[in-house]
Structure 1
Amino acid sequence: MPRPARRRPGSPFYFRARVPADVQHLVGKSEVSFSLRTSDEAEAQKLHAQHLARHYAQWEALRNGPQPLTGKQVAGLCGEWYSGFVGDLSEEPGELSVWDAVREMLDRTRSDDRADLERHYGSIADDLLSRHGLAPDDYSRGRLLSGLRRTMEQAAETLSRRATGDYGPDTHAGSFPALQPPEIGLLGPKEPTKQGQERGGASLWDLFNGWEKEHRRNGKAERTITDFRGKVRKLVEFVEHDDAAALTAADIVRWKDHLLDTGIGARTVSDKYLVAVRGLFNHAKANAMGLADPTENVSVSYSAPQATRERGFTEAEAKTILAAARAEKGLTARHAEHTRRAIRWVPWICAFTGARVTEITQLRKGDVETVSGVPCIRITPDAGSVKTRRYRRVPLHPQLVREGFLEFVEGCSEGPLFRSPTVDAENVSKRVGAWVREVVGISDDRLQPNHGWRHRFKTLCRNHGVPGEWADHLQGHANTSAAAGYGEYTVPAMLREVKKLPDCQV
């Protein structure tokens, strides 16, 4: 357990703690160290424990990735700030004229624009979230920023009354719910035990770190790292050690059965959980680490799911979604600007390109270009994850041009079109999928709302005479034949095929 330390007798105590290996790349350093600003040992121990719990919570939040906050959590965070701000100033609130000026300023600068909210309340939000080890998704952060703006107005109102000598009941204070503290014990969250290291052998986290470096060096998807990390952490928690050499096939079988018993699908256990662990031991084998793979002879049997409807959107479903996107159905000023853009345009682009949704949500302004007089989008690994790891250009269908997509792009600033610097393409794609289900009402569980466009596009290509080779190239489906590696797919020729596809009569 880390303890407060001092550099020399009589000097202030310091907080120092090692950042767990699996989140060091997210934190940006391997150790956290700063002054506790006290030379009193008892006070230093108290402060050190508080900071340690806070950092454990932060690290666990980073492991879990962005998470939604409930309305009650948002209100609780606002209430915590309100209580501290008003409590600190109530004893001596100052002159009424000061708070009149503050209220006038708040009224003058009231805005629902996300950039304005970030500028005025972002640092307050960061402090509150850090204090509780929370890493909210972009929508939840937007809710918190809006809540803090209202809370600031309430605080100014209360302190205006205090400045006149009115110390009656605070009606605002009672409206905020209590915020539960993070569930972090004295030993911190469940972290790798490093038993393998203590015994002198490699730990699972050693294997993971080596695999991660190789994965990044090869330019592969970042989200796979996050996914594998979560799977490995679940294995370590289940077997209660991370000694790679001590992990047996029997352990893997028990873990497999446990996952199935908790309701995780057989295909997910096979293709996600076992693949993650197998990837670590494949890395160990490739680097002559002398470790046997405990997953080698373990498998999960499963049957292909029954197909009770087409996998792509029907024409009626496509029209409903595109009409709702054009009307920006369900969008309000509370939604972040990039979210509004994504919901307006991503379904339309997917409908006429058949691209993967994340390939579109990661588009940048510079990826919309004109080649040989033809407007195109460029899907490239430079912008983010591309499954085939190869760039391709896709001409814009004439209906997409008529819809005004090029004018929209022209009015955007340089950089990403549909995401912010703090929100990745995967997160935005999930938001679009949730909008299709929850707002548009395409709620059929047999349909994947973000993948339905790819299936529909392939169907349209078959129905309207686009050869399979061209359809595969437009959609970015890998073609492993030797012949496919020769020659180029020129933009004018691709436009010829794209024009075969009909308009969607929205």
Structure 2
Amino acid sequence: MTRPRKRRGTENAQFRQRIPADVRDTVRGLELQLPVGGATVSKHISPKATHIELSLAVPSRDKAEAGMRNAAVSAYLAKLYDKLRSTGSPITLSHEEATMLAGHVYRAWSGGRAAEDVRGRLIAEHGVDLAANVQEGLPNMWRSLEDSALAGQLEVVPLADKLTGPQGVKIDRPSQEILAHANKVALGLAFGKQARNSAGDYSPDTDAARFPAPRAVNTKASQLASSLTPDALFVAWQSNPEQKVRIAQSTVRAYHGVVTAFAQFLAEKRHCKTSEIECSTITKAEVRAFADERLEKGNGVTTVNDRYLAALKSIFGWAAERELLTANPAEGVRLKGEKKGRRAEKVFTDEEAKALLSHATRYKRASANEGRKTAAAKRWVPWLMAYTGTRVGEMAQLRKQDVRRKGERWAIRVTPDAGTVKTKDEWWIPLHHHLIEQGFVEFVNDAKAGHLFLDPNPKGYHPDAPFTRTRDPRGILGPLRALQNRLAEFAREVVTRKTVDPNHGWRHTFKAKGRKPSLGIHPVVLDAIQNHAPRTEGEDYGSGDLFDAMVEAVDKLPRYNVD
């Protein structure tokens, strides 16, 4: 695979690759849509072009990003060339491949029902019983093959299948001659075996071992996979237009972390660089070993299955569906283990919850170097999560316009317009009276328009941004991730237990408290507050606007009394 180039007169890295001679005439004149850093670049191939050149829209000094963009373009072109070859130009067989294909001929004609079917048809068409007269039958049969199957461009299939309408790939003329000779040898050996069998000799077949084991010929999926490292495959997956519609940006970030960790794991085990790992060589055993390693590092069974393995299955499965890989190496890999009690470990204890909320209530801006909005986030976001059960990002990206009255009740709106929402939904949550009493509404009213806890960076996204900075024209995701990290560090100052997430723990805790029978909150309403999907189709009926029911539910939630 080619490497990015530096062209005089520009700082951006360039892609330059020779167009293979066998598809050059077909590619010339095409208008290609090439994936470059999450965007699609139109490239017209001139009638005399011998190479494809274009800017990778990233500085050449950013070698990692330039390399991944270069790989994505190369993978796209490899797939294009594959399609052009399979629909028109013939392929070239190696001698080993030709001998392997001849093995199909030998096995089909040397015995068994397939041989009997062939024999019967040949007797009917040529009046020759090959088993009875090998020396006479072989020349006659071979002339028939040369006059029909080998005329023009031969199709690569077992000759037994050729009698029932083959569907194969075309090979070039030199390969036809190599295959013709290999098939002639195979037929001679097969007819010899039939003759021995007819004479009562059924000794072990030593000729069968001369033919290589059956495999796919010139498999383009394997060729393409060999050009894909895990990072390059991730770029191809992320750049696909489908992901921008279906996959949340937070999921893209999480998947990238998994792919990176997996590639590093493989590099350590194989004693190589991550750039030397070919996706086509990854095995189920290696995926399983990675899962075991995640478990040994303290992750729970559910986390490994639902985070790490789910990400690998999704990305490798996507590649297999599009024939970038011949199989999904993560398919069927899943850890088994006792899950009882794991959910409880993710819930804050009463002491932890009160300690964290007290820590937030007492917090004052550490120094002039700390942003005022960051300090405000440490004061209010833990309380907001405690009374709403929302994700940290959904509260950290709140804007002033997202806090207002809905009817008679103050409420907050969770919306993708503010940044990123995993489900891409928008919904309202009533504010708990304790939040109002603490002065949250006054804090909002005194705040400037826009985001309450972060300052968007209008230059957070540009064409040269590393691909891990997912498309973010509003400049919110970078500051949001930074704030989430600050909030996690802040919570860890008082909550040190590793089995509970310092931010996501509020989501589990809210659900655990809301399920107490004494509160009488319907599960559907509790799910609606947190925007959890209905567990059954029946629960989805009549679950339209539940805001009034949410108000009643929130009012039933007990207060957190802290110092």
TM range (shorter): 0.5 to 0.7
- Do the aligned partners of residues 59 and 362 (structure 1) sit closer, same or farther apart at CA in structure 2, a change above 3 Å counting? farther
Q: Hey, what's the Cα distance between the residues in 2 that align with 1:330 and 1:351?
A: 22
8 Å contact kept, 1:395–1:495: yes
Shift of 1:352: 1.4
Q: Does structure 1 residue 224 correspond to structure 2 residue 245?
A: no
Matching residue of 1:417? 452
Question: What amino acid maps onto 2:530 in structure 1?
Answer: Q
Matching residue of 2:532? 477
Q: Hey, what's the Cα distance between the residues in 1 that align with 2:67 and 2:375?
A: 30
- Do the aligned partners of residues 329 and 314 (structure 1) sit closer, same or farther apart at CA in structure 2, a change above 3 Å counting? farther
Mapping of 1:126-145 within 5 angstroms?
none
Question: What amino acid maps onto 2:37 in structure 1?
Answer: Q
Comparing 418-427 with 349-358, greater Cα deviation is found at 418-427
Q: Hey, what's the Cα distance between the residues in 1 that align with 2:68 and 2:277?
A: 21
8 Å contact kept, 1:321–1:436: yes
Mapping of 1:268-347 within 5 angstroms?
269-287=304-322, 291-304=326-339, 311-329=346-364, 331-347=366-382
Residue of 6, 10, 13 corresponding to 1:17: 13
Comparing 448-457 with 263-272, greater Cα deviation is found at 263-272
Q: Hey, what's the Cα distance between the residues in 2 that align with 1:481 and 1:33?
A: 47
| Consecutive unaligned residues in structure 2, runs of 5 or more | 17-33, 43-53, 70-219, 458-477
Deviations 1:162-203 (A, max 9, x none): xxxxxxxxxxxxxxxxxxxxxxxxxxxxxxxxxx99945673
Shift of 1:365: 1.7
8 Å contact kept, 1:311–1:455: yes
Deviations 1:294-330 (A, max 9, x none): 2224343444375596643334433332232222157
**SS of 1:377's equivalent?**
strand
Question: What amino acid maps onto 2:519 in structure 1?
Answer: H
Q: Hey, what's the Cα distance between the residues in 2 that align with 1:58 and 1:291?
A: 27
Count of residues in Structure 1 that have an aligned counterpart in Structure 2: 345
Shift of 1:380: 2.1
Matching residue of 1:247? 281
- Do the aligned partners of residues 254 and 350 (structure 1) sit closer, same or farther apart at CA in structure 2, a change above 3 Å counting? closer
Q: Hey, what's the Cα distance between the residues in 2 that align with 1:366 and 1:505?
A: 29
Q: Does structure 1 residue 500 correspond to structure 2 residue 524?
A: no
Question: What amino acid maps onto 2:541 in structure 1?
Answer: G
- Do the aligned partners of residues 297 and 335 (structure 1) sit closer, same or farther apart at CA in structure 2, a change above 3 Å counting? same
8 Å contact kept, 2:12–2:56: yes
Shift of 1:2: 5.7
8 Å contact kept, 1:436–1:449: yes
- Do the aligned partners of residues 447 and 5 (structure 1) sit closer, same or farther apart at CA in structure 2, a change above 3 Å counting? closer
Could you tell me the percent identity over the aligned residues?
A: 29
Instruction: Pick the structure with greater CA Rg.
Output: 2
Q: Hey, what's the Cα distance between the residues in 1 that align with 2:383 and 2:349?
A: 15
- Do the aligned partners of residues 230 and 504 (structure 1) sit closer, same or farther apart at CA in structure 2, a change above 3 Å counting? closer
8 Å contact kept, 2:401–2:450: yes
Deviations 1:270-293 (A, max 9, x none): 444433332123223444667322
Q: Hey, what's the Cα distance between the residues in 2 that align with 1:402 and 1:60?
A: 55
Matching residue of 1:489? 545
Q: Hey, what's the Cα distance between the residues in 1 that align with 2:300 and 2:281?
A: 22
8 Å contact kept, 2:68–2:235: no
- Do the aligned partners of residues 334 and 290 (structure 1) sit closer, same or farther apart at CA in structure 2, a change above 3 Å counting? closer
Shift of 1:435: 0.7
Mapping of 1:426-465 within 5 angstroms?
426-438=481-493, 441-461=494-514, 462=516, 463-465=518-520
**SS of 2:421's equivalent?**
coil
Q: Hey, what's the Cα distance between the residues in 1 that align with 2:533 and 2:363?
A: 34
| Consecutive unaligned residues in structure 1, runs of 5 or more | 7-12, 35-50, 63-195
**SS of 1:370's equivalent?**
strand
8 Å contact kept, 1:388–1:477: no
Question: What amino acid maps onto 1:447 in structure 2?
Answer: V
8 Å contact kept, 2:528–2:546: no
Q: Hey, what's the Cα distance between the residues in 1 that align with 2:262 and 2:447?
A: 45
- Do the aligned partners of residues 15 and 473 (structure 1) sit closer, same or farther apart at CA in structure 2, a change above 3 Å counting? closer
**SS of 1:429's equivalent?**
helix
Q: Hey, what's the Cα distance between the residues in 1 that align with 2:419 and 2:454?
A: 12
Matching residue of 1:165? none
Shift of 1:395: 0.5
Matching residue of 1:257? 289
Q: CA RMSD in A?
A: 4.0
**SS of 2:62's equivalent?**
helix
